Amino acid sequence: MSSEEPRGAAFIEQELMATPWPLVAPSIADEFVMPRYDGRSLANVPATVGAMLSADPVGSLPPLDQAYWQRLGKVEHVVLILLDALGWLQLQEELAVTQTIMNRVAERGVLLPMTSVCPSTTAAALATLGTAETPVVHGVLGYELWLREYGVLVDMLGLKPVYSKGVTQLTDWGWSPDDFMRMPGVGSLLGSAGVRTSAHLRDTFIDGALTRLCYRGFDHLIGHDGLASLWEQLGADLAAARTQPSYHYAYWGGIDREIHLHGADTDDWRRAYHEAAASLGTWVQETLLTASPPNTVLVICADHGFISTPAEAAYPVEGSLLERELLVPYSGESRCAYLHTVKGRDAATQERLASLLGEGYVVVDTSDALAAGLFGTGQIHPEVEARLGHYIVLARGQRYIDRLGRAGWMRGRHGGLTPQEMLVPWLAARVDDLR
């Protein structure tokens, strides 16, 4: 057991929020959380899975600090459930008011906060989990990226042009995952060490381009049509892996869907959380506790948290003075935006951008952000600077840059660097300890 662990989750949360921020004024630094790629972030999870299964090294990053996993003991099977958008702070609220399987895992295992990656968004996070590398290495730097090799702004979840109203995807233009991401996937890395791997995804995602990108090398890609079939198939998959070390990854996006539509201030996301927790609890009780192989560990984590973004907090970019400064449409995230400016990088341009956006945003030179390690460490992907542009705009509070009228329906967002978005949970327990 690490000497760090007795300090507990509150101490680690405080440390994560107090990590020095070299990119913003000290007076507002406490509004942001710096990613901790050194052993306290989502980016360290793949290496942790490898270490638990004695299959390390997986990727170039270290595992999570020992406090997160050393007490779990001998591990032969890892079941990792990623609940999209279940932030650390949001989970803390729910644990305090309702008893679910989450409470039991927390009480009998490990519950600690860690950071997401930058930006705190699904595309970057899933690519990180799928490669065991940081965004600066794998190059998937956000939801919408300017890909100069195709000359278009691309929705990285659907691998399609942002402004297209048709069904065109980059695959129609010759895109391939192995050319786009020239590094082995986690499935391949674990497989080379004798670990059986599977990924359980919504059936509508199975043949998607992002799946092809993030789950390269997995032995099994298994589709489900909802929580009931997810647990049924996950149980059968785990039973089939009894004879060798195994990693079973499962993704569920119900919470994320509700926060985008309704924001953080309604009960819609809470209902989605409790639906997932209740069905997971039933599966644990009826299947995992009765039929799982020995030395199985259950891990529950998230890719990011979320924040409410009301329409009045938007900066509509279409037709604005800001738009006149841009060489191409802004990219990245609405709360962590990348600007390619007509006049490039100079002090006058940065001052003008800051003046146009106002006090609700911080404009950072991209080279400074890269030097500070905001997007990670390691061998920088050759297209990173082209994709990030000249300046990065960090939103404060509930602010965001809007386009295509999304402010009219999207009530909650992520991608930014506030504690609500950046802090995510690591919940882990031996199945034997959940009895």
Tracing tokens 């299964």 back to the chain, one arrives at 53
Give the per-residue pLDDT at 7.
Answer: 67
CB atoms within 10 A of CB 56: 18
Q: Which helix (H) or strand (E) holds 180?
A: helix 177-180
Same domain, 213 and 165: yes
Same domain, 275 and 365: no
Partners of 144 in the β-ladder: 155, 332
Cα–Cα distance for residue pair 135/392, rounded to 1 Å:
15
11 found inside a domain: yes
3-state secondary structure of 354: helix
Give the per-residue pLDDT at 428.
Answer: 99
Tokens (6 digits) for 196: 């059986």
Cα–Cα distance for residue pair 230/45, rounded to 1 Å:
22
Do 42 and 427 form a contact (C-beta atoms < 8 A)? no
Same domain, 331 and 291: no
Do 153 and 328 form a contact (C-beta atoms < 8 A)? yes
427 found inside a domain: yes
Same domain, 379 and 395: yes
Give the per-residue pLDDT at 208.
Answer: 87
Same domain, 69 and 103: yes
Taking alpha carbons only, the member of 435, 395, 423, 295 closest to residue 18 is: 423
Tokens (6 digits) for 14: 């405080």
Cα–Cα distance for residue pair 150/417, rounded to 1 Å:
29
Q: How many domains does the chain have?
A: 2
Give the per-residue pLDDT at 209.
Answer: 85
87 found inside a domain: yes
413 found inside a domain: no
Cα–Cα distance for residue pair 347/349, rounded to 1 Å:
5
- pLDDT tens per residue, the chain (435 residues)? 333 444 699 999 999 999 999 999 999 999 999 999 999 999 999 999 999 999 989 999 999 999 999 999 999 999 999 999 999 999 999 999 999 999 999 999 999 999 999 999 999 999 999 999 999 999 999 999 999 999 999 999 999 999 988 888 898 999 999 899 989 999 999 999 999 999 999 999 998 888 999 999 999 999 999 999 999 999 999 999 999 999 999 999 999 999 999 999 999 999 999 999 999 999 999 999 999 999 999 999 999 999 999 999 999 999 999 999 999 999 999 999 999 999 999 999 999 999 999 999 999 999 999 999 999 999 999 999 999 999 999 999 999 999 999 999 999 999 999 999 999 999 999 999 999
Partners of 199 in the β-ladder: 221, 249
Taking alpha carbons only, the member of 226, 222, 205 closest to residue 283 is: 226
CB atoms within 10 A of CB 97: 7
Q: Can you give the length of the chain in residues?
A: 435
75 found inside a domain: yes
Taking alpha carbons only, the member of 389, 369, 365 closest to residue 377 is: 369
368 found inside a domain: yes
Same domain, 233 and 353: no
Partners of 363 in the β-ladder: 393
Largest CA distance in the chain: 66
159 found inside a domain: yes
Amino acid at 183: M
Tokens (6 digits) for 156: 């990285």
Tokens (6 digits) for 316: 């509509």
Same domain, 104 and 223: yes
Give the per-residue pLDDT at 73.
Answer: 97
What domain range includes position 271? 5-308+418-434
Tokens (6 digits) for 409: 């329906």
Tracing tokens 């650390």 back to the chain, one arrives at 88
Same domain, 72 and 18: yes
The CATH number that applies at residue 20 is 3.40.720.10
- Single pTM value for the model: 0.97
Taking alpha carbons only, the member of 202, 242, 208, 240 closest to residue 222 is: 202
Same domain, 293 and 382: no
Same domain, 166 and 103: yes
Taking alpha carbons only, the member of 79, 51, 77 closest to residue 64 is: 51
Tracing tokens 């979320």 back to the chain, one arrives at 306
Long-range pairs, 371-376, Cβ under 8 A, ≥24: 372/22, 372/23, 373/35, 373/37, 374/23, 374/34, 374/35, 374/118, 375/117, 375/118, 375/134, 375/135, 375/136, 375/141, 376/35, 376/37, 376/43, 376/117, 376/118, 376/133, 376/134, 376/135, 376/136, 376/137
Give the per-residue pLDDT at 70.
Answer: 95
Cα–Cα distance for residue pair 18/251, rounded to 1 Å:
30
End-to-end CA distance of the chain: 22
25 found inside a domain: yes
Same domain, 90 and 166: yes
Give the per-residue pLDDT at 219.
Answer: 98
Output the CA torsion 369→339→351→363 (10° steps): -40
Same domain, 171 and 48: yes
The CATH number that applies at residue 382 is 3.30.1360.180
Cα–Cα distance for residue pair 228/233, rounded to 1 Å:
9
